[in-house]
Structure 1
Amino acid sequence: MRSLRHFDLNLLLVFEVLMHERHVTRAAETLHLSQPALSHALKRLRESLDDPLLVRTEKGMQPTPRALALLPVVQQVLAMLRQGFAPPAMFSPANSTRRFTLATTDYFEEVMYPLFLSQLLAYAPGISFSIELITPDMLSEGLEQRQIDMVVGLDSQSALPSGVIQTPWMDEELVCLVATHNDRVGDALDIAQFAQQLHVELADISGLRPSNIDSCLVQHGLTRRVISKNLNYIAAARVVALTEAIMTLPRQMAERFVAMLPVRLVEPPKELPTLKMTLIQHGLYANDPANVWLYRVLNEFANDFRRSGNPDAH
């Protein structure tokens, strides 16, 4: 036989079927080939292996000793190839005990995650989750090394580490929060009034880019003074409740604080961008059945969440 480098591996399929059928016409039908094409393939097999392989006898086509010796080897190789090329097994949430790790914003964790988890547990009782902060390391090594499965809720980013896939997930309206005792601010702010206020904001743990709000103000020739950068919304809201500062945050989070603290909602400038939340995963694992399932259920949840408009529905 010539070097394997010059051997057409498609001929292994032809050999296997010929050995089973021992008839050129039937083998051609099984392989959906014309008889001349099958005869040509058999000729190539014989030339490559330097053996007739099948010989016509009074009992029909019979395999040579070389063909009989090759058959189990070829069957084993083809079985391994079929197994290797078969699509991965579907992920079964009902039977899985998989623990997923999500890096999220505290907006997702507070407003959406409890409902998301409670809905999943109804049909995937063995699944569990760990929640982590979104950090630069999580967006690079964390995703690549599969320390986390997905980043959920981060505002759309223009620059991300190589190999990372970002897809739109959910948009949320922004509002301002002020203390109820703050009589310097009415029910709405224009962009100039907005820039003049003292501000509280969340620290950019991801470290990827300047605040969308600051970028918007710069486009209008404005800047603002931030007196406090906090790691979570509740601490920031408590600062607002005790000072003259304002805070800009997603509406559904702000409505929670109105029920908890002496604060009220204020309509923000129309120029402010909406919060464009995304799902981020690594391309290495995007086709993994478990990741495919997680990505799908997060998107289904987002669609239901938008339709209901009530995070405590269901």
Structure 2
Amino acid sequence: MRLLRQFDLNLLLVFVTLMHERHVTRAAEKLHLSQPALSHALKRLREALSDPLLVRTDRGMQPTPRALALLPVVQQALAILQEGLAPPAAFLPESSSRRFTLATTDYFEEVMYPAFLSQLLTRAPGISFSIELITPEALGEGLEQRHIDMVVGLDSQVELPGGVLKTPWMQEELVCLVAASNTQIGDALTIAQFAEALHVELADINGLGPSNIDNCLAQHRLTRRVISKNLNYIAAARVVALTEAIMTLPRQMAEHFSAMLPVRMVEPPNELPALNMTLIQHGLYANEPSTVWLHQQLITFANAFSHQT
């Protein structure tokens, strides 16, 4: 190890080239060096290895026994380094059987995932997906241990653990949903009316903290009364259809429920923030070819989806 600390590993390339060419000028041309620079490198090699390595004879430069013994060792070491330092093999989606695990929101799974999967299967027929809930464990250990490949659709304001990378992904407008028979609420709500209404929302099964809605109301010194916390959007929408309560959700999902249930959309208060969704991955695997490919597919899909809506 002491020798390695003092040895310039760049000289190994010089040594191999000199051994092949056995001529200083030709070796210099191969390495794109000047002849004086290569002669200096040879001098350093001789000093470091305590051997002349190449000796001028009537038959030209000839290697010493020490140089001949070193050559296969150095060539093997350089080959191992070359292989280890080479970029990872490209991901080939058309022939891959890779299984990705996504932690996602209900919104992504219900509204976007079917179309996303359908499009991918036309280009990568052998891939598959597992869908899981977004939890603190998924954001932490799940991503770090690669049990989760990517977290899709989480709001940008959620606090994240160290080591993960967040990419802005898609913005969706929030709207309110009320029963079609609800005559107490018009076509739009002020923030005061919004706070006074009864609410249905999704339960915080993810343990990710207060919603953006509650944070927004708190900034205006307002609170709301939530009469039902449901595990999924469809159950919550059914509660809205049969009560005087309202529900706040992304517009695309609200339009979906409006076609299915006796509910209608209402414009929310102007103060309510939009839903800014993100893609989250761990920095350990961000450059892994299959992860890079998946990330790009999700970005491309989001761009196309936004232009359709």
State the TM bucket, normalised to the shorter chain.
Answer: over 0.9
Secondary structure at 2:186 match in 1? coil
Following superposition, the deviation at residue 2 of structure 1 comes to: 6.8
CA contact (8 A) 1:136 1:205 kept: no
Give yes or no for the alignment of 1:231 onto 2:236.
no
Larger mean CA deviation between 243-252 and 217-226 belongs to 217-226
Give the distance between the partners of 2:133 and 2:59, measured in 1 at CA.
Answer: 74
Following superposition, the deviation at residue 209 of structure 1 comes to: 2.9
Give the distance between the partners of 1:206 and 1:45, measured in 2 at CA.
Answer: 62
Deviations along 1:156-185, one digit per CA (max 9) or x if unpaired, are 135211111111100000000001111111
Summarize the alignment of residues 130-209 of structure 1 with structure 2, pairs less than 5 Å apart.
Answer: 130-209=130-209
Larger mean CA deviation between 208-217 and 286-295 belongs to 208-217
Give the distance between the partners of 1:281 and 1:37, measured in 2 at CA.
Answer: 47
Deviations along 1:234-288, one digit per CA (max 9) or x if unpaired, are 0110111111110000000001111111101001011100000000111111111
Runs of 4+ with deviation above 6 angstroms: none
Summarize the alignment of residues 293-304 of structure 1 with structure 2, pairs less than 5 Å apart.
Answer: 293-304=293-304
2:30 corresponds in structure 1 to 30
CA contact (8 A) 2:164 2:283 kept: yes
Corresponding pairs, count: 309
Give the distance between the partners of 1:177 and 1:297, measured in 2 at CA.
Answer: 31
Please tell me the residue identity of whatever aligns with 1:219.
Q
Following superposition, the deviation at residue 230 of structure 1 comes to: 1.4
Give the distance between the partners of 1:35 and 1:2, measured in 2 at CA.
Answer: 30
Deviations along 1:12-66, one digit per CA (max 9) or x if unpaired, are 1110111111111111111111111111110010011111101111111111111
Give the distance between the partners of 2:41 and 2:186, measured in 1 at CA.
Answer: 84
Secondary structure at 1:3 match in 2? helix
1:312 corresponds in structure 2 to none
Task: For structure 2, list consecutive stretches of 5 or more residues without a partner in the other structure.
Answer: none
Q: CA distance change for structure 1 residues 2 and 106 in 2, over 3 Å: closer, same or farther?
A: closer
Secondary structure at 1:28 match in 2? helix
Please tell me the residue identity of whatever aligns with 2:124.
A
Larger mean CA deviation between 82-91 and 28-37 belongs to 28-37
Please tell me the residue identity of whatever aligns with 2:221.
G
CA contact (8 A) 2:135 2:208 kept: no
Give the distance between the partners of 1:276 and 1:159, measured in 2 at CA.
Answer: 14
Deviations along 1:97-131, one digit per CA (max 9) or x if unpaired, are 00000000011011100100010100100000000
Please tell me the residue identity of whatever aligns with 1:186.
G
Please tell me the residue identity of whatever aligns with 1:232.
N
Give the distance between the partners of 1:69 and 1:104, measured in 2 at CA.
Answer: 59
CA contact (8 A) 2:171 2:276 kept: yes
Give the distance between the partners of 1:205 and 1:87, measured in 2 at CA.
Answer: 41
Following superposition, the deviation at residue 207 of structure 1 comes to: 2.2
CA contact (8 A) 1:2 1:48 kept: no
Secondary structure at 2:123 match in 1? coil
Q: CA distance change for structure 1 residues 2 and 206 in 2, over 3 Å: closer, same or farther?
A: closer
Following superposition, the deviation at residue 233 of structure 1 comes to: 0.5
Following superposition, the deviation at residue 3 of structure 1 comes to: 2.1
Please tell me the residue identity of whatever aligns with 1:56.
R
Overall identity of the aligned pairs, in %: 79
Give the distance between the partners of 1:115 and 1:158, measured in 2 at CA.
Answer: 26
Give the distance between the partners of 2:155 and 2:88, measured in 1 at CA.
Answer: 32
2:276 corresponds in structure 1 to 276
Q: Provide TM-score, normalisation by structure 1.
A: 0.96
Secondary structure at 1:5 match in 2? helix
Following superposition, the deviation at residue 206 of structure 1 comes to: 3.1
1:64 corresponds in structure 2 to 64
Give yes or no for the alignment of 1:39 onto 2:51.
no
Following superposition, the deviation at residue 293 of structure 1 comes to: 0.5
Q: Give the aligned CA root-mean-square deviation in angstroms.
A: 1.2
Give yes or no for the alignment of 1:15 onto 2:19.
no
Following superposition, the deviation at residue 67 of structure 1 comes to: 0.5
CA contact (8 A) 1:202 1:229 kept: yes
2:73 corresponds in structure 1 to 73
Larger mean CA deviation between 150-159 and 286-295 belongs to 150-159
Give the distance between the partners of 1:205 and 1:60, measured in 2 at CA.
Answer: 79
Q: CA distance change for structure 1 residues 82 and 197 in 2, over 3 Å: closer, same or farther?
A: same
1:109 corresponds in structure 2 to 109
Give the distance between the partners of 1:307 and 1:158, measured in 2 at CA.
Answer: 26
Following superposition, the deviation at residue 4 of structure 1 comes to: 2.2
Task: For structure 1, list consecutive stretches of 5 or more residues without a partner in the other structure.
Answer: 310-314
2:86 corresponds in structure 1 to 86
Secondary structure at 1:122 match in 2? helix
Deviations along 1:205-235, one digit per CA (max 9) or x if unpaired, are 3323311111111111211111111121001
